[in-house]
């Protein structure tokens, strides 16, 4: 059983009230949501992915096109972690809020499929997904497990079974545009919601970082759950710097069992 301070209990109560009263609540999730599931984030000192590698050298579209073996060497341990990861308590709590009609949509920067594994339905994957791969020549799509699981085991790069060109994971690399339809849908959610909860995102990467501001500027309430400050903390109704996998279930419990 978690022991919260009186201040945190008051904040949980207030956040729960805001969600319970909202007519169109959404969340924006980032890498911090999945770290309790064993997936590293990008910017944490010492443990983040970019503390070990230069992103433009290993995770750019140019690198994929010109030195795919370098990209896949960097990618292999990450995709192995993602495929073995399971949703944590926060993912499950968000899925439960959606199932009970308290959460309208999840906008996510994550590519790890954990929202889907937890049972969430309306998920907008702004930075792409590992669920599929696309052929770089004939553009056919394939389920990722069929090709990435052998790649994890052997290190042999995945190729299209039809034209034999290289398969690219459907994740957004540096130098690529975000999927336009998904971004348009996410912007619509931000413009029409009356509450947005930011979870595990430092709000440093545009254009996704601007979505909560669009909501707040139109009068939406804002809840932030993140262990480091964001540029929008000063606009938030309530801010939780505590552990995400503990706070989100506590808020959901307050909403669903009032």
**CATH code for position 35:** 3.40.50.1220
Residues 1 and 99 in one domain: yes
Residues 238 and 111 in one domain: yes
pLDDT band at 256 (very low <50, low <70, confident <90, very high): very high
- Strand-strand pairing, 105-108 and 25-29: parallel
Residues 231 and 189 in one domain: yes
pLDDT band at 42 (very low <50, low <70, confident <90, very high): low
Note whether 226 and 56 are within 8 A (CB).
no
Residues 95 and 209 in one domain: yes
CA distance 151 to 163: 18
Residues 79 and 135 in one domain: yes
- The residues assigned a catalytic role are 127
Residues 91 and 165 in one domain: no
CA distance 247 to 5: 12
pLDDT tens-digit profile of 99-118?
A: 999 999 999 999 999 999 99
Residues 230 and 253 in one domain: yes
Residues 22 and 135 in one domain: no
CA dist 153 to 59, 92, 257, Å?
Answer: 21, 29, 45
pLDDT band at 58 (very low <50, low <70, confident <90, very high): confident
pLDDT band at 48 (very low <50, low <70, confident <90, very high): very low
Domain boundary pick from 110, 142, 171: 171
pLDDT tens-digit profile of 198-223?
A: 999 999 988 999 999 999 999 999 99
Q: What is the CATH number of the domain that holds 141?
A: 3.30.1600.10
Domain boundary pick from 117, 149, 171: 171
Note whether 118 and 92 are within 8 A (CB).
yes
CA dist 199 to 60, 203, 222, Å?
Answer: 26, 10, 11
Q: Which domain holds residue 51?
A: 42-84+129-171
Mean pLDDT of the 59-70 span: 93
CA distance 118 to 123: 11
What order of strands is seen across the sheet that includes strand 195-199?
123-125, 105-108, 25-29, 195-199, 221-225, 238-240
198 pairs with which residues across the strands? Answer: 28, 224
Residue 56 pLDDT = 63
State how many domains the chain has. 2
pTM: 0.90
pLDDT tens-digit profile of 72-92?
A: 999 999 999 999 999 999 999
Residues 224 and 103 in one domain: yes
Residue 51, pLDDT > 70, answer no
Residues 117 and 137 in one domain: no
Residues 189 and 228 in one domain: yes
Residues 247 and 191 in one domain: yes
Domain boundary pick from 171, 201, 236: 171
Residue 169, pLDDT > 80, answer yes
30 three-state secondary structure:
coil
Residue 45, pLDDT > 70, answer no
């Amino acid at each position: 059983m978690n022991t919260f301070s009186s201040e945190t209990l008051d904040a949980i109560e207030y956040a729960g009230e805001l969600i319970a009263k909202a007519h169109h609540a959404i969340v924006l999730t980032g890498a911090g949501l999945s770290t309790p599931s064993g997936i590293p984030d990008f910017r944490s000192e010492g443990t983040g992915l970019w503390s070990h590698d230069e992103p433009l050298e290993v995770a750019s579209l140019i690198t994929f096109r010109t030195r795919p073996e370098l990209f896949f060497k960097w990618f292999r341990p990450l995709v192995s972690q993602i495929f073995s990861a399971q949703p944590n308590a926060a993912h499950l709590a968000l899925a439960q809020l959606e199932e009970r009609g308290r959460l309208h949509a999840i906008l996510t920067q994550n590519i790890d499929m954990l929202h889907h594994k937890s049972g969430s339905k309306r998920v907008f994957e702004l930075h792409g997904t590992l669920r599929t791969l696309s052929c770089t020549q004939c553009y056919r799509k394939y389920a990722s497990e069929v090709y990435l699981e052998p790649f994890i085991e052997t290190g042999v790069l995945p190729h299209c079974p039809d034209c034999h060109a290289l398969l690219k994971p459907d994740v957004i690399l540096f130098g690529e545009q975000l999927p336009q339809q998904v971004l348009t849908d996410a912007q619509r959610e931000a413009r029409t919601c009356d509450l947005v909860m930011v979870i595990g995102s430092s709000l440093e990467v545009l254009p996704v970082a601007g979505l909560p501001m669009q909501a707040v500027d139109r009068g939406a309430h804002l809840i932030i759950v993140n262990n480091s400050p964001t540029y929008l903390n000063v606009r938030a109704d309530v801010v939780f710097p505590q552990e995400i996998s503990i706070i989100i279930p506590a808020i959901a419990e307050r909403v669903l069992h009032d």
